[in-house]
Amino acid sequence: MSFISYLINGISLGSVYAIIALGYTMVYGIAKMLNFAHGDVIMVGAYVVMTAIASAGMSPLAAVLLSIVFCTVLGVVIESVAYRPLLNASSSLAVLITAIGVSYLLQNLALLIFGANTKSFASVVPVPALILAGGSLTIAGETIVTIISCVIIMIGLTLFIKRSKAGQAMLAVSEDKGAAQLMGINVNGTIALTFAIGSALAAVAGVLLCSAYPSLSPYTGAMPGIKAFVAAVFGGIGSIPGALIGGILLGVIEIFGKAYISSQMADAIVFGVLIVVLIVKPTGILGKNIQEKV
Amino acid sequence: MKMKKALSAILVAAMTMSMLAGCGGGSDSTSDSGSSEAAESSESGSGGDVFKIGGIGPVTGAAAVYGVAVKNGSELAVKEINEAGGINGVQIEMDYQDDEHDAEKAVNAYNSLKDWGMHALLGTVTSAPCVAVGEVSKDDNIFMLTPSGTAVECVQYDNAFRVCFSDPMQGLESAKYIGENGLATKVAAIYDSSDVYSTGIYEAFVKEAENQDFEVVAAEAFTAEAKTDFSVQLQKAKDAGAELVFLPFYYTEASLVLKQAAGMNYNPIFFGCDGMDGILAVEGFDVDLANNLMFMSPFTPTSEDEMIQKFVTDYKEAYGDTPNQFAADAYDGIYAIKAAMEEADVTPDMSPSDICDAMKEAMVNITIDGVTAKELTWEASGEPSKAPMVVKIEDGDYAVVE
């Protein structure tokens, strides 16, 4: 029974990683840049929800929607102010450093506004825990909602990219920016849309993460952000199903590593598996190996 | 294009500025309080002739609850002593620096206090920074008294003393307490393997458990990089049938453990150490989850002792908050420094190293009646000698367990 419990916890943790990893992977796929501020958008999203509920007395659902809107706007603003002027810069390092700068900016702003103390985040998930097998297996409501949200987001995003015009434009930009522009696609608009979607997902991830693990500090987003980045690389960066597989595998390996091998070694095991995968398949599990034709 | 480059340059500059401004803001506020006190003490007559006591602790960051409490507790004691005429007629000036519970920042803070001319150090508050500062303070031979640094290594050199129990002492006393009071026969322990405080207590606990009437059925670790998910550790404790879970780590993680245990319908007795103190102050934390939580603490604000009551009232008046044990440790720490300075008969014109040599010898001869213990004495090893106490949380408040 504990095996099932570990598995469910692993999938739940992995689902959060997967939702965050989507933001990394979409932005990388389209803008070819690593948005290291992504993890901190998660933190901002969680703070918005907390403030909206605690100070403005909004209902949890309204607070989550507000947070999604806020993060979407934040993502677009970050992209247009901090990244867009540098996307065509001679060195791709410039954007990377700027992303790290934005990450610190967000953390320090949060420190300034909300203070450094860790706050307890009241869960916004109204679903009660599911008690199975006479009490020996309890699945928290947050776990159920996290997994379901992850599935809905994945299906929705896949449909959006396959069926909608904007989604097709994203695909085109990710394959060849120059050619896409020649075909009349608004490249800058498409990149902004990608940031908008990625940041909206970050807000959702923030709410789910903080509902499941109810502590919130200005550094809350940093570690999950890095783990999700690993998940994105693990699954094949630039690939949306890859982010899902990478995220869930990472979560399950982390929990199983803790449960069956050693709780001290959990992170070492996770990153050890990553190294092995990358040696065998350098582009990640679902990464495409595109040959540059000269 | 040029416009864009200029804009991005401005943005980068703005970001850098904001980061610098963040740093500057922190040190400003601490030096502000230092200089205002400096002004006060010089007004009261002694001019430049004052004892300079430095303080280091996390005023911001994850362990801020401790650092702020120590800052307030020590300032309260300094104020009382200055009002009562100071140490042998010499006023005290205190400068309290922030280390954000970071060893490197603590050493930087120590260096700036040394440049300031510190005679003795009350600090640091948390273990890892304290060990780092101990390494440099022994070379300078500056007297240090940590109110709450519990790692063994905090007082490994002869210039360092502490007010609180060491980690092994806490682990040993916890195991003894659980065994002697028959709290449980099956015990699980969860500890932070990346933290000296947690590991130190855990190791002593397991060692002492062999002599006690209970069995450690599960021993699980976590690390600073993965300190949000405790489902596996709790599941293993539950599967092993543990009736008591020993949590030798800080309150931030403990609040998550309590929440997750409640989420999986697991209700053992939770037993922590002094790092657990502060859990009721976590903003937004559901205090009901902490009901029946027990932890070792040298200080209970609800005690009817006259001295403690006066301390609690004065503290509340000054800072609007009930003092925790860190504030109490710091309060006693300042009085211990005063007692040692008086015993050693030191003067501010002596070099910090000479003061340290004299105070080291004086520490083993002093006895103070403090708010953390009656008849608090020290051994030359730097360890305090006092009676342990266990606190239980009932209805969102502390209660002493006999």
User: With 60 as the cut, is the pLDDT of residue B17 above it?
Assistant: no
Q: In this predicted structure, what is the pLDDT of residue B337? A: 94
Whether residue A104 lies within 8 A of chain B, CB to CB, comes out as: yes
Q: List CB contacts of B260: < 8 A, sequence separation 6 or more.
A: A213, B229, B230, B231, B234
Within this chain, domains B2-165+308-385 and B168-297 share the same CATH topology: yes
A residues 216..275 contacting B (CB < 8 A): 217, 219, 223, 254-255, 258-259, 262-264, 266-267
- Per-residue pLDDT averaged across B42-57, rounded? 71
| A213: chain B residues, CB-CB within 8 Å | 228-229, 256, 260
In the beta sheet, which residues pair with residue B180? none
Provide, as residue numbers in chain A, all residues whose Cβ is less than 8 Å from the Cβ of B228: 213, 215
pTM of the model: 0.72
Which range among A185-199, B94-108, B220-234 shows the weakest confidence by mean pLDDT? Answer: B220-234
Among the partner residues B5, B226, B252, nearest to A267 by beta-carbon distance? B226
Alpha-carbon gap: A220 to the closest alpha carbon of chain B (Å): 10
Contact B229 A142 (CB under 8 A): no
Residue in B11, B62, B263 nearest the CB of A217: B62
Question: Are the C-beta atoms of B158 and B92 separated by less than 8 Å?
Answer: no
The Cα of A157 is separated from the nearest Cα of chain B by a number of Å equal to 28
Contact A116 B15 (CB under 8 A): no
Topology of the domain covering B168-297: Rossmann fold (3.40.50)
- Quick one: pLDDT at residue A62? 93
**Is A116–B61 a contact, with Cβ atoms under 8 angstroms apart?**
yes
Q: With an 8 Å Cβ cutoff, are A111 and B60 in contact?
A: yes
Query: Could you tell me the two tokens for B79?
Result: 């104020």
Closest Cα in chain B to A122:
B284
The mean pLDDT value for B279-295 works out to: 83
Q: What is d(CA A171, CA A226) in angstroms, rounded to the nearest whole number?
A: 25
Contact at CB, A215 and B11, closer than 8 angstroms: no
Looking at residue B357, what is its pLDDT?
93
Handedness of CA A180, A183, A188, A192 (dihedral sign): negative
Per-residue pLDDT tens listing for chain A (294 residues): 778 888 988 999 899 999 999 988 988 888 888 888 999 999 999 999 999 988 888 888 999 999 999 999 999 999 999 988 887 776 778 888 899 999 999 998 998 888 777 788 877 877 877 777 676 777 888 888 999 999 999 999 999 999 999 999 998 998 888 899 898 999 999 999 999 999 999 999 999 998 888 888 888 888 888 889 889 988 988 888 899 999 999 999 988 988 888 887 888 888 888 888 889 888 888 877 665 555
pLDDT at B44: 40
Identify the residue with better confidence: B11 or B154.
Answer: B154
pLDDT tens per residue across span B343-391: 999 999 999 999 999 999 999 999 999 898 888 999 989 999 887 788 8
Query: Which band of pLDDT confidence, cut at 50, 70 and 90, is reported for residue B141?
Result: very high
Average pLDDT over residues B15-36: 44
> How close B56 comes to chain A (CA, Å)?
17
Phi, psi of B19 (to 5 degrees): -65, -45
What share of chain B has pLDDT > 90, as a percent? 46
* Residue B197 reports pLDDT greater than 90: no
- Of all residues in chain B, the one with the smallest CA distance to A209 is B228
DSSP-derived secondary structure for A57-107: ---HHHHHHHHHHHHHHHHHHHIIIIIHHHHTSS-HHHHHHHHHHHHHHHH
Nearest-neighbour CA in chain B from A174: distance (Å):
24
**What's the token pair of residue A258?**
């803790």
Residue B152 forms beta bridges with which residues? Answer: none
Sign of the four-CA dihedral B276, B113, B362, B92: negative
For B58, the closest chain A residue by CA position comes to: A116
Tell me what the mean pLDDT of segment B35-50 comes to: 48
Q: Does A131 touch chain B (CB under 8 A)?
A: yes
- CATH 3.40.50.2300 assigned to B2-165+308-385: yes
At B94, phi and psi to the nearest 5?
-125, 140
H or E element at residue A216: strand A215-216
Report the C-alpha gap between B108 and A151 in whole angstroms.
49
pLDDT at B8: 60
Chain B residues inside the 8 Å CB shell of A255: 229, 231-232
Of the partner residues A119, A135, A258, the one whose CB lies closest to the CB of residue B232: A258
Q: What is the pLDDT of residue B42?
A: 41
Q: Do B64 and A215 touch (CB under 8 A)?
A: no
| Side chain identity, residue B117 | G
* Closest residue of chain B to A120, computed from CA coordinates: B284
Chain A hits for B25, CB-CB cut-off 8 Å, are 112
ipTM rounded to 2 decimals = 0.74
- Judged by CB atoms closer than 8 Å, whether chains meet at B5 and A85 is answered as yes
pLDDT at A264: 79
How many beta-carbon pairs under 8 angstroms link A with B? 129
pLDDT of B57 > 50? The answer is yes
Q: What is the pLDDT of residue B340?
A: 94
User: For chain B, which residues make up each domain, given as ranges?
Assistant: 2-165+308-385, 168-297
